[in-house]
Amino acid sequence: MALAREHGINKTARTLGLKYDSLKKHLDATPPAASGRGKVEPEFIELLPQEMMPLSLECTIELEDGRGGKMRMHMKGASLADLASLACRLRGSRP
């Protein structure tokens, strides 16, 4: 949300491959965050319907913790369900 507030909804949506209307709804429903307060958690993940996605995906996932540790994973042949499950596990929740 901070990116959209700083750089504008249209530019952020285009750059991140998000739907403008979805991002605008989330931005309108979220109060501006006070600067310097705790860590920022993602507020939503947009998943496209299966018919709009290829059967297998190729992507790179980059993670960074609060101490500056970084990890990069490159995945080939993952399904949308695999990526959604991985995202839930990385966030510490159940799919």
Q: Where are the domains of the chain?
A: 1-33, 50-95
Report DSSP state, residue 89.
H
Helix (H), strand (E) at residue 70: strand 70-78
* Total-model pTM: 0.34
Render pLDDT for 14-29 as a digit per residue (tens, 0 to 9).
888 888 888 888 888 8
pLDDT tens for the 95 residues of the chain, in order? 778 888 888 888 888 888 888 888 888 888 766 444 556 676 777 776 655 555 667 788 887 877 888 888 888 887 777 877 887 787 776 55
pLDDT at 54: 58
Helix (H), strand (E) at residue 64: strand 57-64
- State the Rg of the chain over Cα: 15
